[in-house]
Amino acid sequence: MMVERIRREHGYMVRLLAILREKLNCLKNEREINYNLIREVVDYLANHSEKVHHPKEDILYEYYIEKYGHHEQIENLEEDHVHLSQSTHAFLDTVDMILQDAIVPQHIFIAQLEEFILTQKRHLDMEEQSILPLINKSFTTNDWQEVESRWSVNEDDPVFGDTIAEQYKLLAKRVNASRGECV
């Protein structure tokens, strides 16, 4: 069911945010980190969210409003997805600048990374704690069948799926490795 796939993807995102939080802690403790790994995490969050995850959620949200009427929190989510996309790409630009040897003061990068993590986590929490329970409670079997019929995108996840995309090899290796290292 679509909601189960969305929740599974949220779990993947939480795992990736945990990796970013580890990198943030390493930076705060003045330890070296691998910026390429940060880039892969942020790139995955940007591209997978925009192409697969958010469009799937938007189908749910649009259908809910069509069938059940006005709900301010749900109506704001599509706009929230646009803002998340913009902030994710802006942060990705900063990471790319660092990888291209531009000087970005560490305290500025730390603040941006921290804000990025908080913004992503806040969005996920709101969907998990408020929006998805409301939709689950409201939707009938017919509603779920209807939203499923509106979704036709291939969902092969480039990090957590059967085939790992070349640009995410480092990330996939890190996701499957033990925690605790900084680089």
**Res 116: pLDDT:** 98
pLDDT at 183: 63
Whether the Cβ atoms of residue 12 and residue 157 lie closer than 8 Å to each other:
yes
pLDDT at 70: 87
pLDDT < 70 positions in the chain: 178-183
pLDDT at 12: 95
Residue 125's pLDDT is what? Answer: 96
The reported pLDDT for the residue numbered 178 is: 53
pLDDT value for 54? 92
Q: The pTM is what?
A: 0.91
